[in-house]
Structure 1
Amino acid sequence: MSFPIVFKAYRAAVSVLEPAVLGLLYWRRHKGREDRTRLGERQGYPSRQRPKGHLIWVHGASIGETLSLLPIVERMTQRGLTVLVTSGTKTSASLIARRLPPGAIHQFVPLDVPRYTRRFLEHWQPDLALIAESEIWPNTIMALAERDIPLVMVNGRMSDRSYRRWQKMPRIIKGLLDQFALCLAQTAEDAERLARLGAPRVIVTGNIKFDAAPPPADPRMVAHLSGMIAGRPVWLAASTHPGEESVIVAVHRALAKRYPQLLTIIAPRHPHRGPEVSALAGQAGLRAGRRSEGIHPDRATDVYVVDTVGEMGLFYRLSPVVLMGGTLVPVGGHNPIEPAKLGAAILHGPHVHTATEIYEALDRSRGALMVKDSATLARAVNELLSNAALTRDMARKAGEAVQALGGAVDRTMQSVEPFIVQAKLGARR
């Protein structure tokens, strides 16, 4: 397998810089961003034996991408295949481990260092690799190609920002996309961008996140907390980022005059920011409690900070109104599909460029409403809290909009079926 000189130069440069990469890894461990007990996995050292038989490698970078792959993982394990699921964050690892079906294994993905990648592939020897969305790591892609392991992009996405960036490096991106046996795109726009950048085989299959089951919750905890907050107006700000919590706190203060028992729940995107969010509420004169400290939202709690992992299914079920974070600041918006499936009316800001399709569908169906600032957010929350019929109608329309966009998992499985057959027959491209 021959690669352009620029790829060989990149590989050589990363190899030379391996000590610096290792130093970065240890710095991340010191900051709590890596799992201390599994740091070897980031260097390609396995912490599990490879099961016998055919193995499919499935990778999602973050928690949302990894969870969206679960229906595909389940379909493959039901067919007797072992599935190795990798992700790159502590949050995704702790959550995915609780949801993997029998026959699936989780490991942290190794960093894109030649020795790490080689070590990883020599141990796991996958028959097929499925990589979600827009993960393009040159050394990993080259290593897969050199071993004739078919590589498929699933739930492929190419944002306008990434597209413009890659257009400045046409030979590099074409050389990388050439190594994909197939690219399965979320939308026609994603497919067109991938094709223009040089992907030789592109199919539109839709967004598999629409088919993911809603996050689970312990019914006993749902009942317990429902009883604690019964009779109180409640709303939730989910997956928030710096700059958004101050707006949410201001909205709470504005609405508290009309709703003295108002409970505002804030779930920061990164749970380690819990103390920061709690302090922000305290500075505004509000009584805040943090979930990670074992505090429950009693009658004295104004703002409840959910700084734990894997509990969004619980709080989506408790909150009839949900503001999606990452939309009031230019992050691009987080996935609103889960609250839509769990019966919430959805609010969002103007910054939704990473999930345009779903937000447009929700807005069109009137299952979601865009707000621009604290004033419009306060008006929207006030209207929904004061009008239960309107809230229920929005929630119903949001659920219907999400359901209408389903079917991507079936189309994805149909598209990768030839590669699964090849894997079972022991043949490679």
Structure 2
Amino acid sequence: MIYSLYRGLTTIMAPLISRYLQKRLHKGKEHPTRYAERLGQTNLRRPTGPLIWLHGASVGEAISLLPLINAMRRDYSDYHILLTTGTVTSAALMEKRLPDGVTHQFIPVDRLPYVRRFLDHWRPDVAIWAESELWPNLICETRKRGVSMALINARMSDKSLKTWQRVPGFAKKLLGAFDLCLAQTDEDAQRYRDLGAQNVQCPGNLKYASPDLPVDDAELAQLRNKIGKRPVWMAASTHDGEEVLIAQAHRRLKERLPDVLTIIAPRHPERGPSIAADLRAQSLSVAQRSIAEDLNPACDIYLADTMGELGLFYRLSPIVFMGKSLEPLGGQNPLEAARLNCALLCGPYMTNFAEIMARFAEQDSVMIVHDETEMVKAVTLLLSDEALREEKAQRALKVAVGEAAVLQRTLSALAPFIGGAGRGHV
């Protein structure tokens, strides 16, 4: 009943959906030359042979799929791999990091004409969805075509669980469409079982399998030379409003450490110009990386508003605060910084990474700060106590590399699922 209503609404609301997409396009939230992909259209030919389609909603999900994609390129060399995501930032990052032979497309908007156009063209043999983004039309149409479907690295927050529990029949229809469900934690696994998922297993969180973020060694050497012996710390993957707080913390740190350098890497680099303007309005000296402004000794804040360079900045900064965590927004992935020997600070709201944060807490490897004052105190302590900073970083690294076997467990669970998929497409 609910799915029929959803399908009907997405059909009759075509003009509103089109207008919404146009607004997103004008705001830079849709790709200017690949907009047609959101309508299920493409100018690429489908390759000959069997095809594995993987979907990750945005940057975090796509990055977690990279180790799996690389392993599939090795283990299933006769398959072509298609990766879909839904955001401009994820597409830009995948352009740099996807291995040769893997195609990226934008996920079509969840209207039946767009979905059917997409599926008619790509004709996947296997569909693998990551984490928790579930589009009803796309799921049901894929299932209707007999495509083998798996939901991997699946997680279910308290909020999502309560939402799905209000529509149990709808939840069972969608989750029951997947032949296999691989959950991040035992708790996630039980929640998916309760909602109607079948063949549920718990190999662990694929985010633990991510390799060290890449770096341009020449850029790293150049920036290290510019920074010299200045004390440096970083706020990573910040969201709107956090940069002003980081700037205030910088001012207070500067009272104790006059030459301190703060690096801010916003989650959405396109916000760079507005962030720079806000920081300069506070009489701070800002160097904006996206327009090649010089990181000179007078620079207060280096604004790292580029894509795909977190590996560079994590290697430059021994202390990293993870953004999106001071307000109840869920946080950002701390494992990438931990793998690169960074001492970690987080706000109290890391609910999207609850299992990871529990492991960090067990190892006493992360410092939780609730406001600007606590942030300043923690950063000052870590900058002044090298032994403590290194101890925290090593404890975090131990957590980050401790579950690397999750990739092989995921591959093993998927092996019969992929091997049993049809290979009839040409």
Deviation of 1:281 after TM superposition, in Å, equals 2.1
Instruction: Tell me the distance in 1 between the aligned counterparts of 2:67 and 2:402.
Output: 18
Residue in structure 1 matched with residue 406 of structure 2 by the alignment: 408
Maintained 8 Å contact 1:76/1:82: no
Residue in structure 2 matched with residue 282 of structure 1 by the alignment: 280
Say which SS state the counterpart of residue 153 (structure 2) adopts: strand
Instruction: Tell me the distance in 2 between the aligned counterparts of 1:27 and 1:302.
Output: 36
Of residues 312-321 and 237-246 in structure 1, the stretch that sits farther from structure 2 once superposed is 237-246
Instruction: Tell me the distance in 2 between the aligned counterparts of 1:9 and 1:150.
Output: 26
Deviation of 1:9 after TM superposition, in Å, equals 2.9
Deviation of 1:280 after TM superposition, in Å, equals 2.7
The total of aligned residue pairs comes to: 423
Say which SS state the counterpart of residue 36 (structure 1) adopts: coil
Unmatched runs of 5 consecutive residues or more in structure 1: none
Residue in structure 2 matched with residue 73 of structure 1 by the alignment: 69
Aligned residue runs from structure 1 range 159-170, under 5 A: 159-170=157-168
Instruction: Tell me the distance in 2 between the aligned counterparts of 1:217 and 1:280.
Output: 29
Instruction: Tell me the distance in 1 between the aligned counterparts of 2:105 and 2:351.
Output: 30
Maintained 8 Å contact 2:126/2:148: yes
Instruction: Tell me the distance in 1 between the aligned counterparts of 2:286 and 2:206.
Output: 37
Residue in structure 2 matched with residue 22 of structure 1 by the alignment: 18
Deviation of 1:64 after TM superposition, in Å, equals 1.0
Residue in structure 1 matched with residue 171 of structure 2 by the alignment: 173
Match of 2:184 among 186, 190, 213: 186
Say which SS state the counterpart of residue 239 (structure 1) adopts: strand
| One-letter identity of the residue aligned with 1:381 | V
Aligned residue runs from structure 1 range 24-423, under 5 A: 24-78=20-74, 79-80=76-77, 81-423=79-421
Maintained 8 Å contact 2:49/2:423: no
Say which SS state the counterpart of residue 352 (structure 2) adopts: coil
Deviation of 1:358 after TM superposition, in Å, equals 1.1
Instruction: Tell me the distance in 1 between the aligned counterparts of 2:111 and 2:45.
Output: 22
Maintained 8 Å contact 2:183/2:204: yes
Match of 1:6 among 2, 23, 26: 2
Deviation of 1:425 after TM superposition, in Å, equals 5.0
Of residues 360-369 and 84-93 in structure 1, the stretch that sits farther from structure 2 once superposed is 360-369
Maintained 8 Å contact 1:240/1:268: yes
Instruction: Tell me the distance in 2 between the aligned counterparts of 1:296 and 1:159.
Output: 43
| One-letter identity of the residue aligned with 2:378 | A
Maintained 8 Å contact 2:125/2:423: no
Instruction: Tell me the distance in 2 between the aligned counterparts of 1:253 and 1:336.
Output: 25
| One-letter identity of the residue aligned with 2:229 | G
Instruction: Tell me the distance in 2 between the aligned counterparts of 1:67 and 1:183.
Output: 19
Instruction: Tell me the distance in 1 between the aligned counterparts of 2:328 and 2:292.
Output: 32
Say which SS state the counterpart of residue 280 (structure 2) adopts: helix
TM-score, normalised to structure 1, is: 0.96
Q: Deviations over 1:277-335 (max 9, x none)?
A: 22232232211121111113211110111111111111011000000001112211100
Deviation of 1:383 after TM superposition, in Å, equals 0.6
Say which SS state the counterpart of residue 408 (structure 2) adopts: helix
Maintained 8 Å contact 2:66/2:98: yes
Deviation of 1:242 after TM superposition, in Å, equals 2.2
* Percent of residue pairs identical: 44
Say which SS state the counterpart of residue 19 (structure 1) adopts: helix
Maintained 8 Å contact 2:96/2:308: no
Instruction: Tell me the distance in 2 between the aligned counterparts of 1:140 and 1:85.
Output: 15
